[in-house]
Amino acid sequence: MNMASEIASAPGLRGASDPAVRMEDVNKWYGSFHALKNVNLTVGRGERIVICGPSGSGKSTMIRCINQLETIHSGTIVVDGHDLTAGGKNVDLIRQETGMVFQQFNLFPHMTVLENCTLAPMKVRGITKVEAEETAMKFLRRVRIPEQAAKYPAQLSGGQQQRVAIARALCMNPKIMLFDEPTSALDPEMVKEVLDTMVDLANEGMTMLCVTHEMGFARSVADRVVFMDRGEILEVATPDTFFDAPQHERTRFFLGQIS
Amino acid sequence: MIRVFGWNEFLIIVVAAQWTIALSAIAFAGGSVGGLLMALMRVSEVRAFRRFATGFIRLFQGTPLLMQLFLVYFGMNIVGFAINPWIAAAVALALHASAFLGEIWRGCIEAVPKGQREAATALGLRYYHSMRHVILPQAIRIAVAPTVGFLVQLIKGTSLASIIGFTELTRQGQIINNATFSPFLVFGTVAAIYFLLCWPLSLVARRMETRFSRATAR
């Protein structure tokens, strides 16, 4: 066990005994490029993790491994008690239990907002259209855009589209939400409405892993901040320690650059 | 005895256009099924599928349609079927269309942004539902114009079936010409009928193309 994993499973953090996500010695290569180097991270249930670091540091790759949008070459990933590396059924199961929000929203442009939200629950969970629409409206109300249900994604602003994407993911009743730079493609005035939605979600106790450059969000919402550089986890700390007393030199350099 | 190219001869040629239309329709229907299969194999994660489809497409794109007609026509005889120009022409043109439509549609499927498939996967949708509800409906919008464009090529391509003895528009023209010796009139008529079949389709294709480029302009 290296230093990062000891920090990651430090005692006193919530849900450490029955983690939502456990990554052990995860390695991934793109050709000869070592994208993830011995990544160890344990995320407790209900924990809010913010992952930051310079671009190309492996943040997105890491969270995309959790629902196997990317495959890993060695190591173990266990999500909600299901071992991803065992493959097959477990991968399907984990994808149903993790919701993901992308930088580019990735809404289905040929479907209305409501259809975007009902497709997966109907086809994957097999629930009826009426039920699916009820659930969809519930979550669209929660992200505060129920009145847009009949519109197509192209008719909405970026912030609204991203909130639809969050609602769409929530309709599958996920236990874990993954956010991959959810506000990076947004105009500045729309960042807040998306972050507010994420804060609401955090307050309801959702387990969240967020790759984001929004340091204000990290400080106020995160239980722990993970700093990555060149495919490695260099530092895992509470926001106070992370921002006020960063341990690693590269963390200090990174924080110096973005502030 | 030389017949005069008159109203009757003209009508015989016009009526033969139905066989051109029928052959085009069958080839296009067969080609649509085969083309979808080829396109899905080309974008498959299974390497053997990709290789097979690539080989099939290269083979049909790299040989003349006339040779494909000959090979199917004589090949059927070798494997024990009776020589039948109708079936040979339909099979050869359907295979030909499968290869070309497969390649066109592969491009359309790949033109759908990668994030769409990822979003579907992240929601737990598996291959069938992801293709059926997310990827193909978007690919079809892109595919309409080039598909109609290929249909025009296919209709013109059916004229080669005359060489293996299938009596469609072109062959009927040859027959009438042999009796009337008015090649300019006869083949002028034949060409005009092809034009009347293809030109409206070209117009439709162009209209769809502009509509699509407007729809995707940002």
Q: Each residue's pLDDT tens digit in chain B (218 positions)?
A: 688 888 999 999 999 999 999 999 999 999 999 999 999 999 999 999 999 999 999 999 999 999 999 999 999 888 888 888 999 999 999 999 999 999 999 999 999 999 999 999 999 999 999 999 999 999 998 898 899 999 999 999 999 999 998 999 999 999 999 999 999 999 999 999 999 999 999 898 888 877 776 655 43
The answer, yes or no, to whether residue A1 has pLDDT greater than 50, is: no
User: Given a cut of 70, is residue A5 above it in pLDDT?
Assistant: no
Note whether A124 contacts B122, CB cutoff 8 Å: no
Which B residues 77-96 touch A at CB under 8 Å? none
Is the backbone of residue B100 left (phi > 0), alpha (psi -120 to 50) or beta? alpha
Which residues touch A12 (CB under 8 Å, ≥6 apart)? none
* Window B:120-149, CB contacts with A under 8 Å: 120-126, 129, 133-134, 137-138, 141
pLDDT digits (tens, 9 = 90+) for A6-23: 444 444 444 456 899 999
Alpha-helix residue ranges (DSSP H) falling in B62-182: 65-78, 85-111, 114-122, 127-129, 136-157, 169-180
Backbone conformation region of residue A31, classed left if phi is above 0, alpha if psi is from -120 to 50, else beta: left
Q: Mind listing the pLDDT tens digit for each residue in A209-232? A: 999 999 999 999 999 999 999 999
**What is the model's pLDDT at position A7?**
46
pLDDT for the residue numbered B82:
82
| B206 contact A CB<8A | no
Domains with residue ranges and CATH for chain B: 7-216 (1.10.3720.10)
The per-residue pLDDT for range A10-64, each reduced to its tens digit, is 444 444 568 999 999 999 999 999 999 999 999 999 999 999 999 989 999 999 9
Residues of chain A in contact with residue B124, where contact means CB-CB under 8 angstroms, are 92, 95-96, 120, 124, 172
Question: Pick from A69, A109, A124: which is nearest to B118 by CB?
Answer: A69
Mean per-residue pLDDT, A116-120: 97
Q: Which amino acid is at A71?
A: T
Residue B145, C-beta contacts closer than 8 angstroms, at least 6 positions apart: B205, B206, B208, B209, B212
User: How much is the pLDDT for B81?
Assistant: 82
Number of H helices, E strands in chain B: 9, 0
- Are A101 and A162 contacting, i.e. CB atoms less than 8 angstroms apart? yes
Look at B123 and A169 and tell me if their CB atoms are within 8 Å.
yes
Q: Rg of chain A over CA atoms, in angstroms? A: 18
Residues of B in contact with A104 (CB under 8 A): 113, 115
Q: Residue type at A166?
A: I
Indicate whether this complex's ipTM tops 0.85.
yes
Contact residues on chain A for B122, CB-CB shorter than 8 A = 67, 69, 95, 98-100, 102, 169
Per the CB < 8 A criterion, the answer to whether A234 and A228 are in contact is: yes
Q: In whole angstroms, how far apart are CA A256 and each of A54, A240, A253, B49?
A: 12, 16, 5, 51
Beta strand A207-211 pairing with A176-180: parallel
C-alpha B148/C-alpha B100 separation (Å) is 12
